[in-house]
Chain A
Amino acid sequence: MFASTAALWYARSVEPDEGARSRFEDFARRERSVLLGIARKLCAGGSIDPEDLVQEALERAFRQRARLDGQPDPARRAFTRAAMTNYFLDLCRKRQTERATADPGLAVEAVPAPDRAEPEQWAAVSDEQFLAAVKKLKPDKLQQAYRLHAGGMRYREIARQLGAPEGTVGAWLTGARDQLRQLLSEVS
């Protein structure tokens, strides 16, 4: 009875269709906070607005939603993260050119803007594969430092927690990422 009324179609018409748009919406909501966390660090203390970075990345993904829809999550997020990095690098280059124009004394080489996204390399990495790679990180302290860092700790806090100098923590984290890159390239 209720379903056959104007009231229901009216209510239904205000809900977005559960189609590609809705799926993109869910994806974008989840992805936004991850992107923002990264963007805030890339933009810290500078003039680039992290919100702008995230918005542009999501808009680029939105424009490609027909292509991305139906692809697994890892592929979609790899694309979006690569898009954000590209846009960030574009802005860095643009600002550098502006600085050079304003101050000819600054020797800045005009570098073309190659897109080094290679999202394909990351598009196949699932959370499970990533976790399996993290478990293989050696030595143990390095793995511990990486997990603590992923949990949101700063270098200084990790250093105190693990009883190591901050510089060592930095070296562990760099080492962990190099190892992960290697392990995950084997996966993909």
Chain B
Amino acid sequence: MTSTAPPDPHAALDRFVDGELPPGEAEAFRQHLAGCDRCQASLHARVQLAGLAQDALAGGAAPGATVIRPARWRIRAAAAVGVALAAGLAVVIAGRLPGGEPDPSLWLADRPARPYEARLSTPAADRYRPYEVTRGAETAPAPPLPALAKLEDRGRLVAIADAYLARGAPEPARPYLDRAGNTPEALASRAAMDLMLGRPEEAVRHAGQSLAAKPGYRPAQWNLALGLRALGLTVGAARQLDAVAAAGEPGWSDEAKQLVEQLRADAQRRKDHWAEVLEACLGAEAGELPFPADLQGVPLVFLRESFDETLARAGTAERLKELLPAAETLDQRLGGDSARRAVKRALAEPMKGREAIGRAYAEKDHPDFVALADMAQKAGLRDLELWALLRAPVGQVSPERLVALAAAFGDPWYAAQAEERTATGASGLALLEDRVKACTGAAGSRFEMRCLAAERELVAHPLAAPADALAVGRRALERARREGDMHMELSLLKLMARVAKPGDPALSDAYDMEHDLLMSRITP
């Protein structure tokens, strides 16, 4: 066996750690490493240094650092090798050359409609035509090769990619965009490609990068809006489209306005519905309205929790008795007799002290649930003790106390809640992934709630890979919206903003904006 490693194998360590060895030599070095104590020890130091360099220096943030970003460097290098050559290189790198546009038919821009919703960055391809799903792409011939070759000679890689994208063909466009680098134009067209491939998160990232380099760049704003809309982030999408509409580009401006109207109407519908749900539940919890046990378009588990809340604040036997019909309706909807048993249990417990605990709870914005549980325990109110423990922060409650109390009730509704609360801290990622996998295809409100809880926990799990967490989060977000569960939606939006932040600030902002707007509508 011949080795392709350099003569002194130890000497290759740095080039190996830097990823500079060709594949064969890298593999030979890994084999050498397996048996070389000296290189193993050095590798530790090299990895630590590489990490420190990335923490402290990457991105050129260090004071006085002379780190030059690759794009700028290329332009400087080009300048160094002579004006004529530099001009040629700049064209290759930037992928655009002013003037001398070829025939617009290369991008099907002469047709009356466009078959794709995104915008392309090549100006000749970006001429406005109304979006129509059924017309255009299927009948379009492949782009003529001589025209493409001419573009390639001139380094206009993005224009070539756009010719394919205009035909609804994202795959052939990809190699050209890969070579075109990270210019704002290439990134905006890349976002269009992502949208065609059904990858809205990628579209948001690429369009966001394009806008960071070229603020106000319309095709990027447009594609960013479409990506956000596909992710259900209506607020962020509407904001981008507002900017496009305000720019007054013929055609594009009107289409943007229409899209914004649709988005706002949809968001308004969801907000109005949630406001109604809250009004009904809040009124019942405060003892001012009958409990809305037959309310539709709201997760049953949410209603059941609101019922427990109402029960906890019902300080008199009369009020508790009034809740029996609602308990019956709830039980019919959920199956079982849990709600009725809860009312009867409350009625059987000493009434003294019940009202005082309910009042102590209602008076505070951030009640101390552990203290409330202790008060209830002293008063012999075991149902209120359990209710308070289930609401206390996980770390402040003894799991044994919670599980034992829930078990004593012999009610699966409380046992399941106690189990979920105590399992939160310890559940491993693999277990969680199994729970999420088991949700695929699950239907029906009770299942949906369990799935949502598992999915949300996976999104929040510190070890979940961000891409996986975001994919699961998207599914959960859709589920929460289908269920009309706005609080779960809010929680997911907040979590997803946090997950997306390091890799994709634009997406993270969009999740945050959506969260803040929805929140502003449901809090006083």
Contact = CB atoms under 8 A, between A and B. Distances in A.
Interface in A7-22: 7, 9-11, 13-17, 19, 21
Identify whether the interface residues of B are mostly helix, strand, loop, or mixed. Answer: helix
B57 A3 contact: no
A85 B43 contact: yes
Interface string B23-67: 110110011011101001101111111111111111110111111
A46 B30 contact: yes
B19 A81 contact: no
Contacts of B361: 4
A174 B57 contact: no
Contact of A82 (B44, B306, B367): B44
A121 to B, nearest CB: 8
Nearest to A7: B487
A164 interface: no
A35 B367 CA distance: 42
A68 interface: no
Nearest to B499: A29
Contacts of B309: 5-6, 9
A24 B462 contact: yes
Interface residues of B, number: 97
B34 A96 contact: yes
A62 B498 CA distance: 19
Contacts of B44: 82, 85, 116-118
B510 interface: no
Contacts of A6: 281, 285, 302, 305-306, 308-309
Contacts, number: 242
A6 B19 CA distance: 54
A34 B51 contact: yes
B49 A177 contact: yes
A109 interface: yes
Contact of A147 (B48, B67, B77): B67
Interface string A82-104: 10110011001101100100000
Interface string A121-134: 11001010011001
Interface of A: 1-7, 9-11, 13-17, 19, 21, 24-25, 27-30, 32-35, 37-38, 40-42, 44-46, 51, 55, 58-59, 62, 77-78, 81-82, 84-85, 88-89, 92-93, 95-96, 99, 106, 108-109, 111, 114, 116-119, 121-122, 125, 127, 130-131, 134-135, 144, 146-155, 157, 160-161, 170, 173-174, 177, 180-181
Interface of B: 1, 14-24, 26-27, 30-31, 33-35, 37, 40-41, 43-60, 62-70, 73, 76-77, 278, 281-282, 285, 302, 305-306, 308-309, 361-362, 364-367, 391, 393-395, 421, 424-425, 429, 453, 456, 460-463, 465-466, 487-488, 490-491, 494-495, 498-499, 501-503, 522-524
Please provide the 6 A-B residue pairs with the shortest distance between their CB atoms, ordered closest to farther: A45-B23, A41-B19, A151-B67, A25-B462, A96-B34, A6-B309
Given A3-B365, A11-B491, A134-B57, 5 more contacts: A46-B27, A82-B47, A85-B44, A92-B33, A155-B18
